[in-house]
Structure 1
Amino acid sequence: MTHPTPGAQLPARAVLSVAPILLPAPRRGTDIALRISAPATGSDLPVILFSHGHGQSLHAYGPLVNHWAAQGFAVIQPTHLDSRLLALASDDPRRPEIWRYREQDLVQILDALVAIEDTVPALRGRLDHGRIAVAGHSWGAQTASMLLGATHPDPADGTPVSLVDPRVKAGVLMAVPGSGGANLSPFAAETFPFMNPDFGAMTPPVLIVAGDADNGAMTVRGPDWWREAYDLAPAPKALFTVFGGEHSLGGIPNYEARETTDESPARLAAVQAVTTAWLQSALYPGNAAWAQVRAALPATADPQGDIEEK
């Protein structure tokens, strides 16, 4: 990855996006469809593996994915089995374990990264396999957290599920669900019985992004529930609390998406800038992008959020 002056944003570059790339997955009954977005030029591109929220697909999250790619990252987006595009029947036998298929999707993509890269001539030999981050939004953030060391019980027997992967060096978790049990709404307890995370072993550097107006249907608590991955995980961690941010965090799900209940170009731009700076510094120790955005945020005329760090 070609670097600018430490701490500065790279000039936006032209982005290429290739989809669908089909990764054979006999175990899940449907191949994993992928999108890869990356700058049109450059080499040694760090990789972001992105897990979408409930019902979304590889077509979503353009405001984030295109920004990251224009800043020099290669972003891989799978379509998980819960996607509305796949429209699994309500009695599909895979439904009770969609959480497991989601998590295994990410592991399988990492296992096949060389083969995936080789299927796209424009990307062949351009990815840096030693600099991999995971990111996700909502259920996707919970899914991504598993590769960073978070665990949760298997709802079938209560045994802990752990998928920590040393290939993953850092993460960005946006609107990631907090602890389960009595904190879950009746809807969430029924729909997501595995949603009882333990962040105690999530040791890599992770940025948690939470909206201070996120009153989503997952919890009977207020917006503070969405910051628990920061509060309950060991250092090094950072928390970006987005002022006025609801579950869509200003508009990350897509362009002109009806899922966005809090549309705000300024809020979205802040999420783009803060997450990019975190990834640059987390994957490249010594890069000052994070320190720069950390110092600049409170000095702006209309700060869109607040950063905590430990």
Structure 2
Amino acid sequence: MRRQPFRAVLAATTVATTLAVLGCSGGSGSSAAEPLRPSASPTSASSAAAGPRPGGVAPSRRFAVGRRELTYNRGGDRRLPVTVWYPAKGAAGGSPQRDARVADGRFPVVLFSHGLTGRPSDYRPLLTRWSAAGFVVVAPTYPHTSRGASELQVLDVVNQPADASYVLTRVLALADAADDPFRNHLAVDQVAAAGHSAGGVTTIGLFTAGRDARLDAGIVLAGTALGVGTTFSGSAAPQLFVHGKLDDVVSYQAGKAAYDRVPWPKAMLTLPDGDHGGALRGSDERALDVVTGTTVEFLRWTLYGDARALRRLPAQATRGGLATLDDRL
């Protein structure tokens, strides 16, 4: 993720917030976008899942990982290519295999949002580990904030929660689609959202201004509430924040301020020597191990309802002395 464009977003806080309230942005195609149709409206969020389901058991084995490419369009110029990593049949380890057969079972879904000028593939070291642990990771490429976009529109991030919910609707529908490889393999009632940087903004937006009542939990990686606010709504959805103290793109203080406003069970993993994204893309392998271990246990607890994972989480967060954990889960 380039530093300068997102700093432009930070400098435009007032404008972005106004745009978020108005439901528009600088994106030329926003007005033509297909309306959001989540399975439950934000006004009925109080009837959605309220925290982890008790008594579940997450898989203890590692899976092979498959990869699938899908393409959707929310209307106008909002084309949304989607990469899906998922547990696959075969021996664990090795590179993800395109269109590999899905492993036996029904797996929770994690919706992942990339950072500004990023793409889902940038996060493969982290996301494939989530899939190997038993999660289907759904990662859209956003039309105006991704690398290679015809025109980078930094304020379009406020439209991305609606994009994310739209993609989630389309992918979850595959669980009942005749002859689709994901038929009977998606746990449509066990869903989380996660995202990095501008994708962290998108993720927070899915629990605030664009609340998607299907979401049971959230993971915010080096994110801030810029443009989407901190009016968290709906049923309790535990949140895990991850932030480096040396982040020179999104300040640690900005991430902590958003974390402090979360009214639900929450935890914040702090990497004292962490930068903006090295622990996510694999350039810092030891930090990646800590982030992976912590996030996997969080997802096992929130989506599978595995209480043992919650007990293991603090040890994963603090192993090696690379991070500290503010644990309010």
Instruction: Identify the TM-score tier after normalising by the shorter chain.
Output: 0.7 to 0.9
1:169-248 alignment to 2 at 5 Å? Answer: 169-177=216-224, 194=227, 197-201=229-233, 203-216=236-249, 218=250, 223-248=252-277
Task: Find the counterpart in structure 1 of residue 10 from structure 2.
Answer: none
In structure 2, the gaps of 5 or more residues are 1-54, 89-102
- d(CA) in 1 for partners of 2:179 and 2:267? 35
Cα deviations by residue, 1:128-171 (Å, 9 ceiling, x for unpaired) = 000000000001011011222x2xxxxxxxxxxx2112100001
- d(CA) in 1 for partners of 2:154 and 2:201? 17
- d(CA) in 2 for partners of 1:119 and 1:210? 42
Question: Displacement of 1:297 after TM fit?
Answer: 4.5
Distance 1:297 1:106, change over 3 A: closer
Amino acid at match of 1:89: E
Return the match for 1:32 from 80, 91, 105: 80
1:273-292 alignment to 2 at 5 Å? Answer: 273-292=293-312
Name the structure, 1 or 2, with higher relative contact order (CA <8 Å, separation 6+).
2
- d(CA) in 2 for partners of 1:239 and 1:96? 26
Question: Are residue 44 (structure 1) and residue 106 (structure 2) matched?
Answer: yes
DSSP 3-state at the match of 2:307: coil
DSSP 3-state at the match of 1:136: strand
Q: TM-score, normalised by structure 2?
A: 0.71
Task: Find the counterpart in structure 2 of residue 53 from structure 1.
Answer: 115
Q: Contact 1:240/1:307 (CA < 8 Å) preserved in 2?
A: yes
Amino acid at match of 2:60: L
Distance 1:7 1:46, change over 3 A: closer
Cα deviations by residue, 1:38-96 (Å, 9 ceiling, x for unpaired) = 01113210000001000112322101110000000000000002344442236xxxx47
Q: Contact 1:54/1:140 (CA < 8 Å) preserved in 2?
A: yes
Task: Find the counterpart in structure 2 of residue 307 from structure 1.
Answer: 325
Question: Displacement of 1:214 after TM fit?
Answer: 1.4
Report percent identity of matched pairs: 25
Q: Contact 1:170/1:282 (CA < 8 Å) preserved in 2?
A: yes
Q: Contact 2:145/2:156 (CA < 8 Å) preserved in 1?
A: no
- d(CA) in 2 for partners of 1:106 and 1:165? 9
1:56-205 alignment to 2 at 5 Å? Answer: 56-89=118-151, 95=153, 98-117=156-175, 118=177, 121-148=180-207, 150=208, 162-177=209-224, 194=227, 197-201=229-233, 203-205=236-238
Decide which structure has greater helix share. Answer: 2
Amino acid at match of 1:140: G
Q: Contact 1:212/1:223 (CA < 8 Å) preserved in 2?
A: yes
Question: Displacement of 1:292 after TM fit?
Answer: 1.1
Return the match for 1:22 from 67, 71, 81: 71
DSSP 3-state at the match of 1:168: coil
- d(CA) in 2 for partners of 1:119 and 1:31? 24
Q: Contact 1:170/1:204 (CA < 8 Å) preserved in 2?
A: yes
Task: Find the counterpart in structure 1 of residue 3 from structure 2.
Answer: none
DSSP 3-state at the match of 1:131: strand
Aligned length: 258
Distance 1:199 1:267, change over 3 A: farther
Q: Contact 1:211/1:249 (CA < 8 Å) preserved in 2?
A: no
- d(CA) in 1 for partners of 2:78 and 2:56? 43
Task: Find the counterpart in structure 2 of residue 154 from structure 1.
Answer: none
- d(CA) in 2 for partners of 1:228 and 1:285? 28
Task: Find the counterpart in structure 2 of residue 10 from structure 1.
Answer: 60
Q: TM-score, normalised by structure 1?
A: 0.75
Q: Contact 1:199/1:229 (CA < 8 Å) preserved in 2?
A: no
Distance 1:85 1:241, change over 3 A: closer
Amino acid at match of 2:166: Q
In structure 1, the gaps of 5 or more residues are 151-161, 181-193, 256-262
Distance 1:96 1:223, change over 3 A: closer
Q: Contact 2:232/2:263 (CA < 8 Å) preserved in 1?
A: yes
- d(CA) in 2 for partners of 1:143 and 1:97? 11
